[in-house]
Amino acid sequence: MDLELKGKVALVTGAGQGVGREVCKVLAAEGVKVAVNDLFQEKAERVAKEIKEAGGIAIGVQADVTNLDQVKAMAAKVLKELGPVDILVNNAGVPWEIRTGQVKRGVFVESEPTLWKKQIDLNMHGCLNCVHSVLASMIERKEGKILSVMSEAGRTGEANLAVYSGAKAGILGFTKALAKEVGRYAINVNCIAIGATAHEGTKPNLDPDAKPETDANLARILKVYPIGKGLGRIGRPYDAAYAIAFLASPKACFITGQCLSVSGGFTMVS
């Protein structure tokens, strides 16, 4: 299916690996000019190089999405080098402990208030900063797609990740409210909710090559992923990337204010 995306400009945040990297590659394959953002310039450049070597158009753009000035500078660079952003994919955002390498989780009552702010800044304010930096241009041109990647933790809550879950839930409320504000300008605002997703950055806890027959951890996780049991796997970055590509396309022009669950049946909300 031709998604009619050729020539569009996309900015994808947190795209140095995993879901963001795959989103960039899938969009580039559809003819989209892609700005690959990451906190680390070398990671952004590496993904941009992959895309260019495959025949696509891409640039790497470093910015900390929690810093509004950096985000505005990033948007200005994308405008100068690729053109105005047609598609914004807010992908940056993980539990703060993972970002810093401190993977230990803890109950809320034992958490530190200083870490609450870091969690909310990264997972909520980062989204707000990026949207605010490109939205005026979309309104002026009366077109645009804003897509935010959230976690199923934001819909169901995740024990030992209370602040992270709350920040991700905020993205859902923001998406719905913004969709009501900007629908008159033909701008679509949606989000996708993902569950456990294995990629190069989740090893060894979630190994993309693991098989449930030989990996007890994967077998345990699959108990709450209905389709995962049949497929013998948890989520992969391409599952999210293909959904995002569709929602970013004119084929999805009548879909807005929605949250598409791409998590193998982990949640089923009527």
- DSSP string computed for 75-90: HHHHHHHT-S-SEEEE
End-to-end CA distance of the chain: 29
Residue whose token pair is 């598409």: 260
Amino acid letter for position 58: A
Active site residue 164: yes
The Cα 26–Cα 56 span in angstroms is 10
Selection from 72, 73, 69, 27 nearest residue 48 by Cα: 27
- In the set 164, 185, 225, 242, the catalytic residue is 164
How far apart CA 82 and CA 230 sit, in angstroms, is: 42
Cis peptide before 204 (omega within 30 of 0): yes
Strand ranges (DSSP E) for 63-151?
87-90, 144-151
Distance of CA 229 to the CA centre of its chain: 25
Pair 260, 190: CB distance under 8 Å: yes
- In the block, tokens 């020539």 appear at 7
User: Token pair of 191, please?
Assistant: 């989000």
Q: Which residues are known catalytic residues?
A: 164
